[in-house]
Structure 1
């Protein structure tokens, strides 16, 4: 029996709310068998651009129509790493935690076990959680799929329902978005509590640049010590009424 469960697709160095979800659940499932979507958070995120706005950091991938996230491959890890590090260069000398955050990026790209974007994104989550002192108890769905043997899925929100039901979760917690895909009565029939995070903006000083909300966790960590970020997560991760 699992008290709380979360299910999320694997995003690349996602925003702070993703890590608040990780902290809120006992166990998580990385939904890597979903179809890869172009121009999504799978292979890109946003950081400051050093000019008063934001820019995408992007990992080039190879994918065809209908390819799963797990089967979508990174074209060149080394090239992607060097490009992203270059896009972070303007933080140098301005952001107090530039060097440590830069090393997080290097750690995520180091020694890839395979070339999938899912593997890279999972490492980005793991190294960030280690840096923040968060427990990362998330498992790729692709490694569990045969064991779980889910019934046929009728609509998108049913994936989380069937995973939660099969794993014996008492409560399922979702990020604030995506409410419309869930049918509350289905969860009530299974006796599983369906809840959503209630996230408040984490506002912090960004030195000479204007603050922009909901950028990649990399921007948060550039300006804030890990203990402060972890404390914010612990004290501000709430469930919506």
Structure 2
């Protein structure tokens, strides 16, 4: 019926995130997941002047430990968006596609007044997808009346989500495929596959390439059009995991 993938809504995530979106018919932003401090939901990495990397970050308000991403509010601190823009200004003299990238980033940052980090990231993901000509359908898990929190096992939770969305194939990043059981998915009539991205290095400022930075860095040095081409440079392989755990959810 359709290919599905799901990830938490990250803040301007890395290249592989967009490759995963482009590989499926429908991409679910799992904003019902518990917010994790020092993760990728409210921050990401960019090149640091003089070498290495630094964070760009959205301030979030204090919240209970178990709060879902969709419910974590952005802290009402002044000028946090401007601070990010000022950090990215360091790219001006070294990145050939600074102007077009900043136009997109500023439009994404200032294009709304979302109260929560989940809502902000969902809009940014959709806006960047439009710019990169990614035509996959983007949905948020909270848009559907289903409580995945009642299923304790991650593998079972993923399988239930795929069934709830009516997908015939689920694609997961290859580095996390060991958490899922392809045989279990197959017994439920669902194909489990893995996204295998190639190793991509591109010219950055400096002698050392810093991998896995925000998509902002990729666009700064490659431009939006070439970044769109890089996103298509991945392959889908069958999920094979002989040591998969025995999940509890049964389709029989």
For the criterion TM > 0.5, the same-fold answer is: yes
Matched ranges for 1:68-217 at <5 A: 68-76=68-76, 79-112=79-112, 114-144=114-144, 146=145, 148=146, 152-208=150-206, 210-217=208-215
* Contact 1:77–1:109 under 8 Å retained in 2: no
**Which residue in 2 is equivalent to 1:237?**
234
* Contact 2:182–2:191 under 8 Å retained in 1: no
Structure 1 unpaired stretches of 5+: none
Distance 2:228 2:137 in 1: 17
**Which residue in 2 is equivalent to 1:221?**
219
Deviates more, 1:182-191 or 1:148-157: 148-157
TM-score normalized with structure 1 length: 0.91
Is the aligned partner of 1:42 residue 2:41? yes
Q: In 2 relative to 1, CA 227–164 (structure 1 residues): closer, same or farther, beyond 3 Å? A: same
Displacement of 1:135: 1.3
Distance 1:83 1:70 in 2: 24
Distance 1:136 1:106 in 2: 23
Q: In 2 relative to 1, CA 201–78 (structure 1 residues): closer, same or farther, beyond 3 Å? A: farther
Distance 2:40 2:196 in 1: 21
Distance 1:23 1:202 in 2: 17
Structure 2 unpaired stretches of 5+: 239-252
Q: Runs of at least 4 residues of structure 1 off by over 6 A?
A: none
Q: In 2 relative to 1, CA 89–32 (structure 1 residues): closer, same or farther, beyond 3 Å? A: same
Matched positions, count: 237
Deviates more, 1:41-50 or 1:97-106: 97-106
Distance 1:116 1:149 in 2: 20
Q: In 2 relative to 1, CA 120–14 (structure 1 residues): closer, same or farther, beyond 3 Å? A: same
**Which residue in 1 is equivalent to 2:2?**
3
What is the alpha-carbon root mean square deviation over aligned residues?
1.9
- SS of structure 2 residue aligned to 1:76: coil
Q: Deviations over 1:158-217 (max 9, x none)?
A: 222112112221110012232232233321210111111101122111134632111000
TM-score normalized with structure 2 length: 0.87
Distance 1:158 1:113 in 2: 35
Displacement of 1:47: 0.6
* Contact 1:50–1:209 under 8 Å retained in 2: no
* Contact 2:10–2:41 under 8 Å retained in 1: yes
